[in-house]
Amino acid sequence: MEYFSPGNISPPDNKNYEYAYNQSFQIAKERLLNVQDYASLCRNSGARYTRSKEKVIFSLEYVGVTYEITLPIMEFRIPGSEAQIPIRDKILLLHYLLTAKGTPLSGNLITFKELPEGIVYFRTFQQRTIRHIVNRFGQEPKGLIEAGLKINGEKTDMGDAGITIKALPRVPVTFVLWKGDEEFPAEASLLYDSTITDYLPVEDIIVLSEALTWKLVRA
């Protein structure tokens, strides 16, 4: 899959991130417009669709919220809301639909470093996710659970605090936190089902993890 992000291309005009995101969005949009078998796409991703002569509407759950994608105009909306959807979220949803293989969850949890090229991207990943979780919840682990429950997460018995969020229909993400003390600093980790790369490219896993991190911090 072709993927453009600020981390793996050099956009013009001195890091013009908007250009990079627009290019990524256009590529993903064209790929979805060329899909013929909507039933298989939805079966693999857990999305739903309705079809009429004029349009196709996909419905997809993202962190407990229903998003609709209407083809061929490629309109994104949250039913009943006037909220503007960031282009990064649009790209993430498109990449999920296009990547999903329908692989059953294994129940085997892995860290980011265990993903293909995870070690290469880990420093970026750590700065965009783990650092913020530790800074916000490191001295008060129960706050992580409280925040996670607000965004439809489920408590899990891992570390001093653990929460699993169903980010996308086939993509659960688990946040685990160990409280710091006078001797040892707080630590955190994000865990994924080992099938996650059958649903998202590694670059999108970073984007998704960062988005979930900020949802927790702001909750």
> What is the residue-averaged pLDDT of the chain?
91
Asked, for residue 210, whether it belongs to a domain, the answer is yes
CA distances from 209 to 4, 48, 141, 204 (A): 17, 24, 19, 8
Decide: helix, strand or coil at residue 96: helix
Contact 188, 172 (CB under 8 A): no
Pair (23, 62) in one structural domain: yes
Mean per-residue pLDDT, 98-103? 98
> Residue 187 sits in which domain range?
109-218
Q: Is the pTM of this model over 0.85?
A: yes
Percent of the chain residues past pLDDT 70, beyond the cut: 93
In this predicted model, what pLDDT tens digit does every residue of 146-202 receive, in sequence order? 999 999 999 999 999 999 999 999 999 999 999 987 788 999 999 999 999 999 999
CA distances from 214 to 43, 63, 85 (A): 30, 12, 15
Pair (33, 71) in one structural domain: yes
Q: How far apart are CA 115 and CA 192, in angstroms?
A: 9
Closest CA to 102 of 195, 166, 206: 195
From 75, 99, 123, give the residue that closes a domain: 99
206 has a pLDDT exceeding 50: yes
Asked, for residue 147, whether it belongs to a domain, the answer is yes
In this predicted model, what pLDDT tens digit does every residue of 102-125 receive, in sequence order? 999 999 999 999 999 999 999 999
Contact 137, 143 (CB under 8 A): yes
